[in-house]
Amino acid sequence: MKNFLTAILLIFIFCLFAVFISVNNTTKQVLQILSPTKFIIDLDNDKIADPDETICLADIESFSTAPEDEFTNKYTKILNISKEDIISLGYLAEDFTQKTLENRNVSIKFTNKKNAACRYAHILINDLDYGKILAENGFGIFNGEIKNSEKYSKNLKNARKLNLVILNHHSNKYHTLTCPYGNAAHDKIIIPKLQLPKGAKPCKFCHKTKIKRKINNTTNIEKYNIPNIPQPPLKVTSGNIRSFYTDFTTKFKPDSNCTESVCREFVKLVNSSQTSIDMALYGYDNIPAITEALQKAKARGIKIRYVYDESFYNNSYYKNNEIISNLAAISKSDRTESKTQSNMIMHNKFIIFDNSIVYTGSMNFSKSGLSGYDVNNIIIIKSDEIARLYTKEFEQMLCGKFHKQKSQLNLPNRFTLDASEIEIYFSPKDSSAIRIIELVKNAKKYIYIPAFLITHKEISNELINAKNRGVDVRVIIDANSTNTRNTKHAQLRSNGILLKTENYAGKLHSKSMIIDDEYVITGSMNFSNSGENKNDENLLIIKDKKIAVSYRNFFLYLWTKIPNKYLKYNAKPESKDSIGSCSDGVDNNFNGKIDNAEALCR
């Protein structure tokens, strides 16, 4: 009898487990709420928010804090409410959706309707139609009608009590919900007026005072005649080369969600790898989607090898190197018993897939890099020859030869891929600056430089010479770099070169130079003596008009987003100067103080 009861119990547990597996195979997780009727749902179960996973609710509309003009014009008339009411109702609707759906598992019933932005579907949570839930709570609109007028009226009353305003974090000014100046701000948030930070001031145009002021609708003409350029495409493909950028003017907090294309593309390469993944990284922050992809790669027999930076004191700037080390068949840091040697850095950020694809650029494998919080650029090259060259460099380090202990590779470093010509240099053996200076000397029209820093004496002098012979030389550097030892920013400015410090929370972390719509210089190497002569780095020089024009457009876009006052003044990296830096949870100036603990943020 006892054995019979045990068997029955085991069968019951097995059935429950089977039901659990079945449910989890048919439901999908809501990764991100875009509006009360628009979501990103993890259709392929990879924990990554892909563009083709955007789902819109079918047959229902709702309020939002960013309503389209068509919706606003329609429902201000039908419901006899204002645009401010619509936005305030949207604030409550978004809060309701966030609480109800975010990170929950839902079932999806697709309809035949779709467009470029969305696939339409009915969403079920616990077998209940979410559209009906939205309607029953007074936020959903079917065929132009509110289905629960009693709840709607209550919501409208509560929405009006919120007294919402737009707060511009950068200026610490608050605006009405329809103020064009508030809506044009890049560092803005909609909050109840009672939640305004101490010292916030009303916008003088939308919060009218007794003295009426005439609003000047014209904007100041850019002193240097640069047009207002919208965000260009953040990726470009030319033959077997793909390049991606990240834009810190739209991202004010780092995260580990892997929603940026630079992260998603890396995960796709890991998932499609067939034999090997060789990784040379300055260090690694745990990004769950990447860690999981590497774990799966190892499980299917992919050989992972890893080199990384480690100081003489047995630590690293990034703390999760052991995650990849434990997955790797072989791993090696640059730490030695020589303090001088160990305190040079293995600053590469390149990965070789299947001895045929190289993923490289300026981006560290960190939350700030992979989330798009920093400005970076990534190059992905499909070429057996180029992969072979990178592998030779990688294997020197894997054998324990770092920095000045390495040998110069006696292999061809110039390649032709379709319409592109590529040169590759490795520090500290290849004297990369000699080639950079040669290209600067030959520049005829312009040299644009988005770079973390410039401290290299000879490069700086040659940029001044280029300016003096009539070349348009412009530079953007990271705000932190004005305090860097040997920084050349003051020298460049005093010699007439237009140089701006960026004023955003994230770092301008790229190390790039664009010349005459012809050449792009990029990679991991800062324009510094250490970058050329001490650290392990890789530098690419790409001759390709399509790629150069794309880099140029992105540079000019950043240039227009940074006010002209930073041609003269230096933005402070954690202060009201730098948009988002006082609310991002990051120690932007490395002084141990974050956000309101920093005096310049208070």
β-strand partners of 414? 423
pLDDT in tens, 426-472: 999 999 999 999 999 999 999 999 999 999 999 999 999 999 999 99
Q: Any idea what DSSP says for residue 504?
A: B
> How confident is the model at residue 231, as a pLDDT?
85
pLDDT > 70 in the chain, percent: 90
DSSP state of 370: H
Least confident window among 22-36, 429-443, 503-517, 553-567:
22-36
Mean pLDDT of 225-242: 79
Q: Which of 533, 531, 379 is nearest to 454 (CA)?
A: 531
Tell me how far CA of residue 319 lies from CA of 132, 147, 311, 322, 397, in angstroms.
46, 53, 12, 8, 20
Contact, 552 vs 448, CB < 8 A?
yes
Q: What ranges make up the beta strands (E) of 462-536?
A: 472-477, 498-501, 513-515, 519-523
- 493 backbone dihedrals φ, ψ, rounded to 5°: -60, -45
Whether residue 112 is contained in a domain is answered as yes
Single-letter amino acid code for the residue at 595: D
Which burial class, exposed, middle or buried, applies to 560 when counting CB atoms under 10 A from its CB (0-12, 13-18, 19+)?
middle
Owning domain of residue 302: 235-567
13 band by pLDDT with thresholds 50, 70 and 90: low
pLDDT above 60 for 284? yes
What pLDDT is attached to residue 340? 75
Closest CA to 286 of 366, 372, 378, 374: 366
The answer on 272 and 396 residing in a single domain is: yes
Which has the higher per-residue pLDDT, 602 or 310? 310
Residues 181 and 144 grouped into a single domain: no
Q: Is the pLDDT of residue 74 over 50?
A: yes
**Which string of b and e fits 352-362 if b means at least 16 CB within 10 Å?**
bbbebbbbbbb
Whose tokens are 């390495």? That residue is: 406
**Number of structural domains, the chain?**
3
22 occurs within a structural domain: no
Q: Residue 415 is which amino acid?
A: F
CB atoms within 10 A of CB 110: 12
- Asked, for residue 266, whether it belongs to a domain, the answer is yes
Q: Residue 234 is encoded by which pair of tokens?
A: 């953040």
C-alpha span between 506 and 485 (Å, rounded)? 21
pLDDT tens, position by position, 115-167:
878 899 999 998 899 999 999 999 999 888 898 889 999 999 999 998 999 88
- Do residues 572 and 578 make contact, with C-beta atoms less than 8 angstroms apart? yes
List Cα–Cα distances, 98 to 14, 110, 129, 426, 450, in angstroms. Answer: 34, 22, 16, 48, 38
User: Which CATH number is 440's domain given?
Assistant: 3.30.870.10
* pLDDT more than 90, % of the chain: 63
d(CA 140, CA 540): 53
Per the model's pLDDT, the better-predicted residue between 154 and 7 turns out to be 154
Same-domain check for residues 310 and 373: yes
Q: Is residue 575 part of a domain?
A: no
Q: Each residue of 330-353: pLDDT tens digit?
A: 999 999 877 777 679 999 999 999
Nearest CA among 516, 582, 565, 554 for reference residue 253: 582
Residue 313, pLDDT > 80, answer no
User: Is 72 inside a domain boundary?
Assistant: yes
pTM summary value? 0.66
Token readout for 276 is: 């090997």
Residues 300 and 322 in one domain: yes
User: Cα–Cα distance between 138 and 441 in angstroms, integer?
Assistant: 67
Residues comprising the chain, all counted: 602
Co-location of 190 and 256 in the same domain: no
The verdict on 406 and 536 lying in the same domain is yes
Our separate counts of H helices and E strands in the chain read 17, 29
* Both structure tokens of 304: 């992972």
> What integer is the mean pLDDT of 205-213?
56
Is 263 part of any domain? yes
pLDDT at 234 (0 to 100) = 93
Confidence of residue 10 (pLDDT cuts 50, 70, 90): low
Residue 450, beta-bridge partner list? 476
In a domain, 42, yes or no: yes
**CA gap 339, 509 in Å, rounded:** 27
Asked if residue 21 has pLDDT above 50, the reply is: no
Burial class, 248, CB count within 10 angstroms (exposed 0-12 / middle 13-18 / buried 19+): buried
| 135 and 244 in a common domain | no
Same domain assignment for residues 370 and 286: yes
Q: Report DSSP letters for 399-464, one per residue.
A: TT--GGGS----S--EEEETTEEEEEEEETTS-HHHHHHHHHHT--SEEEEEES-B--HHHHHHHH
Strand partners for 379: 243, 360
**What are 286's two structure tokens?**
């745990």
Of 515, 279, 264, whose CA–CA distance to 371 is shortest? Answer: 264
Q: DSSP letter at 145?
A: E
Segment 469-505, tens digit of pLDDT: 999 999 999 999 998 889 999 999 999 999 999 999 9
Among 50-59, 507-516, 519-528, 581-590, whose mean pLDDT is lowest? Answer: 50-59
pLDDT band of residue 89 (cuts 50, 70, 90) is: very high
Gyration radius from the chain CA atoms: 27
Instruction: Based on the fold, state whether residues 471 and 391 are members of the same structural domain.
Output: yes
Measured CA to CA, the distance from residue 138 to residue 140 in angstroms comes to: 6
Arithmetic mean of pLDDT over the chain: 88
State the distance between the two ends of the chain, measured CA to CA, in whole angstroms.
74
β partners of residue 378? 244, 361
Determine the residue type at 251. K
Asked if the model's pLDDT at residue 23 lies above 60, the reply is: no
Same-domain pairing of 251 and 370: yes
Q: Which of 490, 497, 554 is nearest to 520 (CA)?
A: 554
**Does residue 530 carry a pLDDT above 70?**
yes
Residue 579 has what DSSP assignment? B
Flag whether 15 is in a domain.
Answer: no
The token pair that represents 362 in the structure block: 């300026």
- The reply to whether 145 and 174 lie within a common domain is no
* Least confident span in 96-105, 131-140, 392-401, 525-534: 96-105
Residues 149 and 170 in one domain: no
